[in-house]
Amino acid sequence: MNYREVGNTGVRVSDIGFGCGGNAGLMVKGTPEQQREAIQKALELGINYFDEAPDYGDGVSETNLGRVLKELGARPYITTKVEVRADNLGDIAGHIVHSVDQSLERLGVEYVDFLQLHNGPVMEPPELSGRSYTHLWVEDYLRPGGALEGMQRVQRSGKARFIGFITRGNDEPAVLQLIDTGAFSLINASVNLLNPSAAIKPYGMKVDYDWGGILAYAAAHGVGVGIYSPLAGGFLNENAVSGGTPHPIAGGRRSPSAMETGQRQAKAVSFLSRKLNPGTQKDEHLLAEAAMRFVLFLEGVTTVLGGFSDGDQVAEIAACSGQGPLSEENMARLEMVWRANFGS
């Protein structure tokens, strides 16, 4: 396992992280035995970074991670998050302090290494209603009593070592404004073979969510980057390309149009798979391995968060660390696919 420093923090985390989100299913729907097996395997393979959030199963994932780590006597690096919803806008800072206290109790720890806001920053006030928390106006990050003040209160109390936030695409100006404050040490961004725009965006490529090349800016300003959805929500594997059935505990519902688009785009990059194209690949890798290797060698990437449904997936993804980048030939072919918008 390889390790990289998170920005200028001095903290070195595994370049493969353990994503505890609900879509892969393990930390929310898995049995205690399955969860223990997967986490123990991850630790044995050198994964020392776990990414959590209260919204992953309404606290269930945090509780399960805390239980297993206690059983194993392990204390890896842990990130958790805070979601700001409509009814929290009157006292964002107070809500953040309260939310972190609840997360620490579920995780069974006295502090987290990184605390992130789960709302992506935007330049205009978003529509927040009910349990929605996708975005937060950048002014609500920075105003007195806002998100930054709340996270810094948590820092001063010793309950979080470093702070950061999530990015969700189409938000580059707000992301750069927050990075420029110098207060944040870690951001999360989505990068994968179907949308590499946080790192590169070839001429002619169209994406619904444009990350605007923020990885290089973060790296230049000493900010670490965690990558989520490196497999494009599960599309970048042979089973999905072939229309197979997802893992029994994997979640995430998509509209028929989103399914059609994801499968079509994944097929366009499936030339990377030795399984789907026997005898044609110089590089002997499966599609998921190729997808991980692509992301791991982008400038500015600190750790790539795998989403796991079982222990076997942990081993498969962990093995991608240290394998090296994709070949120049494959990168050139990918460039052609992107420029052609996946053949659409």
Sign of the alpha-carbon torsion through 219, 14, 316, 327 = positive
CA angle (124 as vertex; 121, 128 as ends), nearest 5: 75
Q: Of 3, 49, 56, 77, which is the active-site residue?
A: 56
Distance, in Å, from the CA atom of 61 to the CA atom of 156, rounded to the nearest integer, reads 26
Q: For residues 100 and 62, is the Cβ–Cβ distance under 8 A?
A: no
Q: Which residues contact 140 (CB under 8 A, 6 or more apart)?
A: 84, 89, 92, 125, 146, 147
Say whether 56 is catalytic: yes
According to DSSP, residue 169 is labeled: S
**Torsion angles phi and psi, residue 163, rounded to 5:** -130, 160
* 3-class DSSP state of 229: coil
Gyration radius of the chain over CA positions: 19
Taking every pair of C-alpha atoms in the chain, what is the biggest distance, in angstroms?
Answer: 61
Q: How far apart are CA 208 and CA 236, in angstroms?
A: 18
The residue type of 158 is G
327 in Cβ contact with 282 (< 8 Å): yes
| Both tokens assigned to 301 | 């990437």
Kind of pairing between the strands at 3-5 and 12-14: antiparallel
Question: What are the backbone dihedrals phi and psi of residue 227, each rounded to the nearest 5 degrees, phi first?
Answer: -105, 125
Alpha-carbon gap, residue 290 to 296, rounded angstroms: 10
10 Cβ partners below 8 Å, 6+ apart?
none
Cα 330 to chain centroid, rounded = 24
* Rounded distance between C-alpha atoms, residue 71 and residue 67, angstroms: 6
Q: Which residues are catalytic?
A: 56
